[in-house]
Amino acid sequence: MTITSKYISYRETGFFSQLILDYIQKDPALYSLPLFPPDRLGLSKAIIERQQFATNRPAIVAHLKDQYQGIKLANPVRENIESLLQPSTFTITTAHQNNLFTGPLYFFYKILHAIRLAMYCKVQFPELHFVPVFFIGSEDADLEELNHIHVGNLTHRWNTEQKGAVGRMKVDQELLNLIDELAGEWGGLPHGKEWIEMLKSSYQEQDTLARATLRMVDQLFGRFGVVVIDADAKSLKELGKSIFSFDLEAGQTEAAINPTLNQMKEWGYSAQALVRPINLFYLKEGLRQRIEKVNDKWQVVGTTIQFNQQQLMQELEQYPERFSPNVILRGLYQSLLLPDIAFIGGGSELAYWMPLISLHKKMSIPFPVLILRNSFLLVSAEQSAKLAKLGLETRHLFQSIEKLLGDCYTEADKKNCSLKAELIQLQEFYRELAQKAEGVDFSLKGHAEAIGKNGERLVKGMEKKMARAIKQKYSAREKKLLALKTALFPNGKLQERVDHMGTFYAQYGSQLLDHLLEASYPLEPFFTMTTID
């Protein structure tokens, strides 16, 4: 297998917000928040700031060793876990919920980018060590977002009655049956059986989905030294109690973040995440519900559970694992736990991370360099050949069908699509005719004008017929373009947000990951178009 990669700007794709475009172009106003720039200098500053913060490294390593019990570790993972005890080791972290069977393609792109950036940092700062980390968002309770995958035109869904945090849900027979169903989709491809076996060994009955995700990521990326962390653990929530108690004083987190949010709104950017007076959920088996303060009570929304202040502090002290950060607090919790110098995320993730800098400052926790994750468009050799026959490159597919068809019209066809000039001439002719008719007999003017309107209608009808005929001339091209656009931009979205890696792994095997890693830029902000042969 060989792959060829070409790069275009994120602006050229038309899929990225103005906030993200301004961020990667280092807009001075945006960086006045102040953010470290996503470059070597920014990473250097983040390292210095992180060195001055007391990370509880022994607690993290003890948790990781316990978490990996029963899993045979690759040497690079074992060595990276041990290295976290050293003050010279830092983490490059990316995060995602435990989507079913890893979810969309960008799940992989995030992790590959973390690996690539860790390699880059080792070259730039050889006296230090850098560990790529995947942080599982195992406490997310949005099952509808996480319980399905798309394979071609089909959606495969895990139907379960389980409730609460998805990471705590158990692998059941329904899910195992789904793997068997997918074997029919992928089993006949060159590496399909390998992928199915990976799923079966990762998703073991009665294990949690978080542990299944850990196994899957470890099998795929353990050879690169990727360390997976599931922070839904009492030992780690113990470390987060200062954050949780701060947030439970309703309104404090809001007060810390809102000035930054308001400033960003003044610059024309919209908020990506809602900051609430309290940004914690109450978490038990089968339950994850928001905590709200009503008068002098703290209530768990949708339940009869409530606490007074003394009871709440006692609950936090005894059961910190029952408090679960929302999207606003999750970043702060992550920055507290890990010696992060960089966080890698998609456009929406960076958008909700940026305002968190003021919350980090308030809590005196270092803020990482934010890195926009790499994006890929994977194109098969067959698709590339079809594009070449149409005289197009992959980059052209980011344009609309109308624009692509319009650009391929010959100059004569573009000219013949419109009879505007002829209509103007016709209208002038009938005006002159009406004037002459009026000079002969005033009653003839109306007759001449009626003839003119009828002639105009006939010409406009002819214009429509000519336009249809010209469009028909290009109909075969339009069908081919539509087929390619639909295949590479499913539902009008970026491929990486819909398609599943299983289809590509089953076809190309693990070496695809090596090629994508090689094609990944550590810091340069370009969208990657990759042709696989």
pLDDT in tens, 286-310: 999 999 999 999 999 999 999 999 9
- Residue 463's pLDDT is 73
Least confident of 171-185, 273-287, 455-469: 455-469
**Once rounded to an integer, what is the mean pLDDT over residues 396-408?**
83
**459 pLDDT above the threshold of 80:** no
Least confident of 24-33, 290-299, 397-406, 523-532: 397-406
C-alpha distances out from residue 198 to 64, 173, 193, 386, Å: 22, 17, 9, 33
126 pLDDT tier (thresholds 50, 70, 90)? very high
Helix then strand then coil, % of the chain, to nearest 5: 55, 15, 30
**Rounded Cα distance, 180 and 186, in Å:** 10
**Rounded Cα distance, 136 and 334, in Å:** 11
How would you classify the pairing of strands 340-345 and 89-97?
A: parallel
Asked whether the beta carbons of 228 and 122 are under 8 A apart, the reply is no
C-alpha distances out from residue 467 to 13, 122, 410, 454, Å: 30, 60, 13, 20
- Backbone phi, psi, residue 392, to 5°: -120, 160
- Residue 408's pLDDT is 62
Tokens matching residue 69: 């019990």
**413 pLDDT above the threshold of 70:** no
- Residue 402's pLDDT is 83
277: left (phi over 0), alpha (psi -120 to 50) or beta: alpha
If residue 8 lies in a helix (H) or strand (E), which one and from where to where? strand 3-8
| Exposure of 212 in the CB half-sphere (CA atoms within 13 A) | 28
- Residue 472's pLDDT is 67
In percent, the amount of the chain with pLDDT more than 70 equals: 96
pLDDT digits (tens, 9 = 90+) for 431-440: 887 788 777 7
pLDDT digits (tens, 9 = 90+) for 321-350: 999 999 999 999 999 999 999 999 999 999
- Residue 71's pLDDT is 95
Residue at 151: amino acid letter: V
What global pTM score does this model have? 0.89
**415 pLDDT above the threshold of 90:** no
**258 pLDDT above the threshold of 90:** yes
**What is the rounded radius of gyration, in angstroms, for the C-alpha atoms of the chain?**
29
**Once rounded to an integer, what is the mean pLDDT over residues 485-499?**
95
**458 pLDDT above the threshold of 90:** no
**Rounded Cα distance, 274 and 327, in Å:** 9
- Residue 419's pLDDT is 64
Cis before 34 (ω within 30): yes
**411 pLDDT above the threshold of 80:** no
How would you classify the pairing of strands 297-300 and 369-372?
A: unpaired
CA angle 526, 377, 327 (to 5 degrees): 75
Least confident of 275-284, 301-310, 395-404: 395-404
DSSP letter for 84, please.
T
Tokens matching residue 159: 């139907």
**Once rounded to an integer, what is the mean pLDDT over residues 492-514?**
96
**7 pLDDT above the threshold of 60:** yes
- Residue 133's pLDDT is 98
The residues facing 425 across adjacent strands are: none
The structural domains of the chain, with segments of one domain joined by +, span 3-240+326-375+494-532, 418-473
User: How many C-beta neighbours within 10 Å does residue 2 have?
Assistant: 8
**Rounded Cα distance, 37 and 371, in Å:** 9
**Once rounded to an integer, what is the mean pLDDT over residues 106-129?**
98
Least confident of 35-39, 127-131, 240-244, 475-479: 475-479
